[in-house]
A = this chain, B = another copy of it.
Amino acid sequence: MLHDPAQLDLMFQALADPARRSMVERLSRGPASVSQLAEPLAMSLSAVVQHLNLLEASGLVRTEKIGRVRTCQIEPKALQAAEHWINERRLSWERRLDRLGDFLAETE
């Protein structure tokens, strides 16, 4: 579920916006309400809610509404899935370089 291409699209798309990254950054320091997330951002509450909905759709953030307050949390598993995709590609490239190095050493 976390590795399907459409989910990765959503996660990377979500991380591509500085406002959304700053919301993730804020949430990495602990849960926050929508208003708290909006406070440092120079845009309407409405815009923040729309960003938040994207973050939630991507799986990076989970929210729970209690009374009139919506509390938001990071979902570390989703962050890890994005991290993992990148890491795999980088490792694959590095393994290839190692093999190439071995080959060159052998034929020396």
Contacts and interface: CB of A to CB of B under 8 A. Distances in A.
Q: How many copies does the complex hold?
A: 2
B83 A79 contact: no
Contact of A17 (B9, B93, B96): B9
A34 to B, nearest CB: 19
A26 to B, nearest CB: 10
A76 to B, nearest CB: 5
Contact of A18 (B9, B16, B79, B82): B9
A30 B74 CA distance: 35
Given A9-B17, A21-B8, A29-B96, A83 B76 contact: no
A35 interface: no
